[in-house]
Structure 1
Amino acid sequence: MNSQFRPRLAAAQIVALGTCLILSACASAPGYPSLAKRPAERIAGTAQPASPPPVAQAPTPLSPELQARLAQLVGRARAAHAVFTAGKGKADRLSSAARGAAVSSEAWVVATVALAELESRRSEVMISLAELDSLYAREKVDGGDGVSIAAARDQVTAWVADEDAVLAELRGRMRA
């Protein structure tokens, strides 16, 4: 071993021996703490049985104005979804024709425009969905149950999900 490392090794051994002596002094102290439960850890309480869940109440009827607004939003979403569905065939044909085409080719541009038209119809459905979400949140904040609004919102959400799946498929086909 190199002579320059010997003093460092000796110093490290002394520090280690000192640490061991100090720790052993702590261990030899009388009166180890008990591992038994302390009073604060003992279980005691005054629990009461839970009250039964509230009985479901019949949905509160919507005001005539809110019913009319709900019907208008669902009708607008239904009409936009119908236009989307009608344009799906054209976009399907055009995206199939653009499969593998160069990005700026005629087939790719025409298919991209058809997809943009479908996305425009989807955005109209999304606007209705956003307004339904707003109505639902307002109804819940005001203490209503929002069951009728939630049902309409669920229907529009299903249309949006269907449209999203169609658009994803068509976009994927154009990338292939």
Structure 2
Amino acid sequence: MKRALLLLIFAMPASLSLAACAAAQQTQAPSLAKRPIEGRFDVAPPAIVIPPPGPLPSDLAGRLARWEADAASGQQAFAAERDATAALVAAAAGAPVASERWVVAQQAISRLTAARAPLSGALADIDRLYIERTVDEAVDGLPDIYALRDRIAEMESAQDAILQALSAALPGQ
């Protein structure tokens, strides 16, 4: 008898759950199809018209011309010092650190670094101008400013590579 009662207790929940499943299958489940209200946000966002930057303002044209001239003079001064510096570094290649030839080569590298100061200053000034105009959202002339900045940065990068190569050629570096 206990077994029959135990079997009845375990069989009852199973039969109830099967009945519930059968009842759920007989009712109409909601459709998962798209409803008309769901499509009301399927609209393309409005086009945002951004005017292109205008020409360079006249007050900046003179500053850019001055910075371009400074960069050119820094490039010329660097080129004039480069060959003499390379010769002094080559002469100091086998010399011990702190010897006279090594010190002369170090001084030549310092003079070469100083010769490019106008170019470095022009790049710093144009970077400052670019950041100020970007923060102020003054887009007129930014393509011209950025193009000049790119040219000056390329010159400085080439000079950096030369200075690093000369410094690496000296012993103790």
Instruction: Tell me if structure 2 keeps the 8 A contact 1:91–1:115.
Output: yes
Instruction: Provide runs of 4+ in structure 1 moved above 6 Å.
Output: none
Structure 2 residue aligned with 1:85: 79
What per-residue deviation string (whole Å, max 9, x for no partner) do you get for residues 34-91 of structure 1?
Answer: xxxxxxxxxx79464355575662x312222210011001111110111001111011
Structure 1, unpaired ranges of 5+: 1-43
Structure 2: distance between partners of 1:53 and 1:164: 43
Instruction: Tell me if structure 2 keeps the 8 A contact 1:60–1:144.
Output: no
Instruction: Tell me if structure 2 keeps the 8 A contact 1:97–1:107.
Output: yes
Counterpart residue identity of residue 54, structure 2: T
From 75, 100, 106, the counterpart of 2:69: 75
Structure 2: distance between partners of 1:97 and 1:72: 38
Structure 1: distance between partners of 2:160 and 2:133: 28
Change beyond 3 A, Cα 1:116–1:52: same
Structure 2 residue aligned with 1:8: none
From 122, 144, 150, the counterpart of 2:146: 150
TM superposition score normalised by structure 1 = 0.67
Give SS of 1:84's match: helix
The answer to whether the aligner puts 1:171 opposite 2:167 as a matched pair is yes
Instruction: Tell me if structure 1 keeps the 8 A contact 2:73–2:118.
Output: no
What per-residue deviation string (whole Å, max 9, x for no partner) do you get for residues 123-158 of structure 1?
Answer: 331111110011111222232331111011111101
Aligned length: 132
From 85, 110, 123, the counterpart of 2:104: 110
Larger of the two Rg values belongs to structure: 2
Instruction: Tell me if structure 1 keeps the 8 A contact 2:97–2:171.
Output: no
Higher relative contact order (CA 8 A, sep 6+): 2
Structure 1 residue aligned with 2:19: none
Structure 2 residue aligned with 1:161: 157
